[in-house]
Amino acid sequence: MPAPRVSALPVPPSRQSPSTFSDRMDTFLAAFPTLRTDVNALAAYLEDLTGGVTLKAFGAVGDGTTDDSAAIAAAHAEGAPVDYRALSYNGDESTGYFSVYGATKYKAASASRLQYGLASDPVDDPEPIQAVVKFSDASRAVDTAAWDQTGYYGLIKVSGDAYATALTGYARAQAGSGDIIGVHGRARLDTANAGRGYAGWFYAEVFGTKTAAHALELNMWHDTDPGHSATGGKSQGIRIAPADSTSAANRMSSAISIGPSTTGGTDNGSWTGIWIEPGSIVRSAGVTDDGEAMLINSPKVSTGSIGGIRFQQQAGDAGVFKYALRTDEATFSSNNVLLMGTGQKIRWGNSSTGVALTGGATSLAVENGVVNIADPDGTAALQVAGTNVLGPRKTGWTAATGTATRTTFATSTVTTAQLAERLKALLDDLTTHGLIGA
């Protein structure tokens, strides 16, 4: 549709031509209604092109210096999108349209802002406000350090103490249903692609000594405590899960992988793999059995089983672990380093036939093996309530000869020979059990 034309005004009257002044004045004034109609038609056409109203129509100067707050507020009060293009508008934050940190004025000499819908007239279209798509065949051979990018947002902080961000994603759910996401990153690797896929990549460069540096920090705020849950609850700082699919092939090799630099050698990594800071784990007031640094729930299916925590020596790696679990620097309630259920076992070797230590309600049992009390200095002993009941083997005994008898006898009538037979049996048994020997 072509732009509507504004009809030309007739020749205006002139005092230099008194004879035609009156007729020209009548003709000139008669043309104004047509002029108004033409100008209104052009304004409507321009509003259709811009999708809203222009700030100039509400008295904005647009020179980047004049305070256009009143014009901006009036334009937005019309309830239609406002066109900020072409000129530089200086608006006070109190108009409610701008949200700018650090300054009381916002000068948008080269800035742009898109608004789709109003609080009083929301949009029911789920499509994005702006879509930027790039088809690329860029190669790192051109620049080995270059990234093939679609959009780039940069911020260089030169002074000041305000927090700085190059990109902010903000989503707010005031009503309705459905999940809400501040920033959504998605990567797809088609079959022909030989690279790796990252839905998000965060890289922090740190120069000099800093009190703290994070490639990624996640914060959460609740106005109501969600409480402890034996299944982890519904409020999580990080949740890692496969995409929704019923396919058994929809699996991940690892939910979390902590790795070294791919080009930094064998000694370029982190001092601590996972650090749970003091005060980060809490418990409810008056409750002693909730709050844990790590919670692992059982698998959903009954067939097969999964492991809990596993240590593995990688083939070809010469390094060794100093320990699997260290507790000597911590304090435990009732000195309970490990709490196990009745009948649960600690097993060595084969998962079904190896030596096992089983705890009962009032006993401790050893399966498929023997108990060996290491005694490098000859002082080890088995005690009951702090009293030695079994110590190292007593040596110097030699085997007695003759008959060994284990039947009952009466102390009042037993003979020396009968008592000797029973003593030999006792010595044989003590020797067999290893309490005495040569």
Is residue 297 very low, low, confident or very high in pLDDT (cuts 50, 70, 90)?
A: confident
Highest mean pLDDT among 73-87, 287-301, 418-432: 418-432
Is the Cβ–Cβ distance between 174 and 168 less than 8 Å? Answer: no
Residues 168-196: what's their mean pLDDT?
A: 85
Query: Could you report the per-residue pLDDT of 138-157, keeping only the tens digit for each?
Result: 876 666 667 788 887 888 88
Highest mean pLDDT among 35-49, 54-68, 348-362, 367-381: 348-362
Q: What percent of the chain has pLDDT over 90?
A: 17
Query: Could you report the per-residue pLDDT of 339-359, keeping only the tens digit for each?
Result: 999 999 999 887 788 899 999
Residues 407-415: what's their mean pLDDT?
A: 94
Residues 400-407: what's their mean pLDDT?
A: 94
pLDDT at 96 over 60: no
Distances (CA, A) of 173 to 126, 180, 181: 14, 7, 10
Is residue 176 very low, low, confident or very high in pLDDT (cuts 50, 70, 90)?
A: confident
Query: Could you report the per-residue pLDDT of 2-42, keeping only the tens digit for each?
Result: 678 888 888 888 888 888 888 888 898 888 889 888 888 88
Average pLDDT, the chain: 80
pLDDT at 392 over 70: yes
Question: Element (H or E) spanning 66, and its range?
Answer: strand 63-67
| pLDDT value at residue 343 | 92
Question: Element (H or E) spanning 92, and its range?
Answer: strand 88-92
| pLDDT value at residue 259 | 85
Is the Cβ–Cβ distance between 294 and 278 less than 8 Å? Answer: no
| pLDDT value at residue 107 | 37
Residues 195-210: what's their mean pLDDT?
A: 83
Residues 207-218: what's their mean pLDDT?
A: 80
Question: Which residue did the predictor score with more confidence, 288 or 281?
Answer: 281
pLDDT at 134 over 60: yes
| pLDDT value at residue 48 | 59
| pLDDT value at residue 84 | 61
Question: Element (H or E) spanning 47, and its range?
Answer: helix 32-50
| pLDDT value at residue 203 | 84
Q: What is the rounded distance in angstroms from the CA atom of residue 390 to the CA atom of residue 381?
A: 6
Highest mean pLDDT among 208-217, 219-228, 317-326: 317-326
Is residue 418 very low, low, confident or very high in pLDDT (cuts 50, 70, 90)?
A: very high
Q: Which residues pair with 107 in a beta bridge?
A: 90
Token pair belonging to 386:
């702090």
Task: Supply the DSSP symbol for 24.
Answer: H
Highest mean pLDDT among 69-83, 110-124, 283-297, 402-416: 402-416
| pLDDT value at residue 314 | 86
Residues 223-246: what's their mean pLDDT?
A: 79
Q: What is the pTM of this model?
A: 0.62
What's the CA dihedral at 45, 48, 51, 53 to 10 degrees? 40
| pLDDT value at residue 341 | 92
Is residue 285 very low, low, confident or very high in pLDDT (cuts 50, 70, 90)?
A: low
| pLDDT value at residue 323 | 93
Give residues with Cβ within 8 angstroms of 158, minimum separation 6: none
Token pair belonging to 431:
């020797």
Token pair belonging to 195:
């690279």
Is the Cβ–Cβ distance between 126 and 132 less than 8 Å? Answer: no
Domain range annotation of the chain:
393-438
Q: What is the rounded distance in angstroms from the CA atom of residue 307 to the CA atom of residue 292?
A: 19
pLDDT at 388 over 70: yes
